[in-house]
A and B are shown apart, each in its own frame.
Chain A
Amino acid sequence: MDLPQATSKGAVAARRMANIVQFENVGLRYGTGQETLSDISFTLGSGAFYFLTGASGAGKTSLLKLLYLAQRPSRGIIRLFGEDAVTMPRGRLPGFRRRIGVVFQDFRLVPHLSAWDNIALPLRVAGVPEDDIEQPVREMLAWVGLAERAQARPATLSGGEQQRVAIARAVIGRPEVLVADEPTGNVDPEMADRLIHLFESLNKLGTTVVVATHDFQLLNRVPGAQMMRLDKGRLLDPTGALRYPPSARGFA
C-alpha cells in the first residue's frame, strides 16, 4: 500500500526544513478544575514522525486537540506554521485546519454518508470541483484497500475498515501535519501494522505525523520516530533529550 505520488521531491525537501509546531509553557484547564495539561513545551520538526505516549488520562487527547485547533489553551504560546494559534481570529482557523489531517479515536465518520463521500468530504469543504474529486477519492480508497467498499456506510464497515476510511479522509487533502489519536486502539495487530505503514508512507512524502498511543509495542515499528511521553498532564521529557533513538526508549 503506497500513497499515490503527487508531491514532488523538491516540495518534500522544502517541508523537511523548519519547526512547524511550537508549544511554550502551554496549560489547559477545562472549566474551573485543575489543569489537564501543565507547562507543555516542545517543537515538532517538519516532516518528522512522532509518537505521543502515556497512560489513559495522561492528557494525550487534550494535547492533540490543541494541536488540531479544536481547543485553545488556558495559557502559554502555540505557534502553528509560524503563526500564533492562540490569538488567531476564528475566521482564520478553517484555513489552518485544512493543513492538518485528523484521525479521531472514535473515527467520527459521518454515519449516513458512504465511505466514498466521507473520504471526499475534506475536498468538498475545500471547494474542489466535483470533477476533480473522483480520482483522488478512488486512489485513496485503493490506498487503504477499500476500493470494493466505496459505497458502504460506516455502520456496515468493520472497526478496521472504519479506521482506514478515517485515515483516508484525514490525508486526502495532503495535510502538512497528520494527527492520529489512538489509531490502532480498535484493530488487531496485523491491521495496526498496516495502519502504521500507511502513516509511514505518508510521512515519507513530507507530512509530519503525530500518533498518540498507549501501545508501547507500536513505538518500535517505526524506527525513525521520535517519542514524547505524557504523565498526568506533563511532558516527562520536556527537553526532548530522550525522544530518540529507539534503543533509548526502553520499550523493546
Chain B
Amino acid sequence: MSGADRRVLDEAGGLHAMTWVMAIMLFLTLLAAALGLGTRQSASALERQLAGRLTVQVVEGSPTARDALAARTLSVLRTVPEVRRAVAVDRAELTRLLEPWVGSAGVDADLPVPAMIDVDLAAGASAEPVVAAVKSVSAASRIDRHQRWMSPVSGFLDTLTWLALGLVVLMMGATAAVVVLAARAGLETHRATIEVMHMLGSTDVQVARLFQRRIATDAAIGGAVGAIAALLLLWFLGTQLAALGSQLIGGIVLEPGDWAVLVLLPLGFVLLANAAARLTVVSALRRSL
C-alpha cells in the first residue's frame, strides 16, 4: 500500500505521545554519548601528553658534583636515539616549584635538592634504553615516568567513557522497549481496523508497515527535537569550557568525527524504532489468523 494508506490508522490513536518520549530519550542519549566521546578525547590527549615523558632526578649531596653529574647525564641522554628532547630544569624554576614548601627565601644551598632533567621520548619509543643510559652514569639517579602517576586519572577517564557507552546502550534498550509498548498499545487501539484490513487481504507486513511509518515519523520528529536541544546544550557547554582555560578539563573537546556520531545517533534511533515496531507488530499479528 502507499499514499493515502497512511491515514488508515487514526491520527488520534495515541501513538504521538511517543514523540515526546523519543525527544527526551534522544536528549539524554546525546548528552551521555557526548560525555563518553569527550572523556575519550580527554583520556587520549592525556595519554598523548604523558606517554612519552619522564623526569630524571640526579641525586647527589654535593651541589658541584650534582651539577657535574647532571651535565654528564644530559649529554649521555642526548645521544640515546629514543630521546627526542632532553632539557635540564632551570634552578630558578625548581626554586619556584619548591616555594610553597620551603618558603619565599629560596632554596637553601645546603638542601640536597636533586637536579632534574625533562625527557621527551620519540614517538612510540621504549623508556628502557633511557633508564639504562641514566643508570650507566649514576645508579642513584631516579627516573619518574609521568604516565605512572597519571595512570589512575587515565583509568578513571576510561571508566567514565565505558559508563557513558553503557548509558547509551541502556537508553537504546529503553527506547526499543517504549516502541514495543507503543506498538502493542497501537495494535490494541486499532484492532478493529486491523481485523478489517486482514479480511480485505492485507498481509502482516502491510499492517506492520502502517505502524512502522507512524512510529518512524514520531521517532524522527522527537529525535530531531531532542537532538537539537542536546546539541545546543553541548555547544553552550563547550564555549563555557573553553572560557575556563583549564589544562585538565580543556582536553574535553569533541572532534568533527564525534559531532558526526552525535548527529548520526538520532538516525540510528529512528532505524531502531522502525525495526522494533515491525518485529512487535508482525509477531503479534502472527498469533491471529
Contacts and interface: CB of A to CB of B under 8 A. Distances in A.
Interface of A: 68-72, 90-91, 93-95, 97-98, 102, 104, 108, 110-113, 117, 120-122, 124-127, 130, 169, 173
Nearest to B199: A102
B8 A97 contact: no
Given A120-B4, A124-B1, A125-B206, A71 B201 contact: no
A75 B12 CA distance: 42
Contacts of B4: 117, 120, 124, 130
B5 interface: yes
A121 B289 contact: no
Nearest to B193: A110
A90 B289 contact: yes
B192 interface: yes
A32 B289 CA distance: 19
A72 B202 contact: no
B10 A94 contact: no
A102 to B, nearest CB: 6
Interface of B: 1-5, 7-8, 10-12, 192-193, 195-203, 206, 286, 289
A72 B289 contact: yes
20 contacts: A72-B289, A90-B289, A91-B203, A94-B201, A94-B203, A98-B201, A104-B196, A110-B8, A110-B196, A112-B7, A112-B10, A121-B8, A122-B200, A125-B201, A125-B202, A126-B201, A127-B1, A130-B2, A169-B200, A173-B201
A117 B7 CA distance: 9
A136 to B, nearest CB: 15
A171 B55 CA distance: 90
Contacts of B195: 108
A127 B5 CA distance: 11
B3 A124 contact: yes
Nearest to B207: A125
Given A125-B1, A125-B202, A126-B201, A93 B196 contact: no
A124 B201 contact: no
B200 A70 contact: no
B199 A97 contact: yes
Nearest to A129: B2
B199 A121 contact: no
Contacts of A70: 199, 289
A125 B289 contact: no
10 nearest CB pairs, A to B: A98-B201, A97-B201, A94-B201, A124-B1, A112-B10, A122-B200, A94-B203, A125-B202, A108-B196, A125-B200
A121 B197 contact: yes
A124 B2 contact: yes
A112 B10 CA distance: 6
Contact of B7 (A69, A113, A126): A113
Contacts of B192: 108
Contacts of A173: 200-201
Given A108-B192, A127-B1, A113 B203 contact: no
Nearest to B5: A124
Interface centre among B3, B8, B200 (most CB of A within 10 A): B200
B10 A97 contact: no
A238 B195 CA distance: 31
Given A68-B199, A104-B199, 16 more contacts: A69-B289, A90-B286, A94-B202, A95-B201, A110-B8, A113-B8, A117-B4, A120-B4, A121-B8, A122-B201, A124-B3, A124-B5, A125-B202, A130-B2, A173-B200, A173-B201
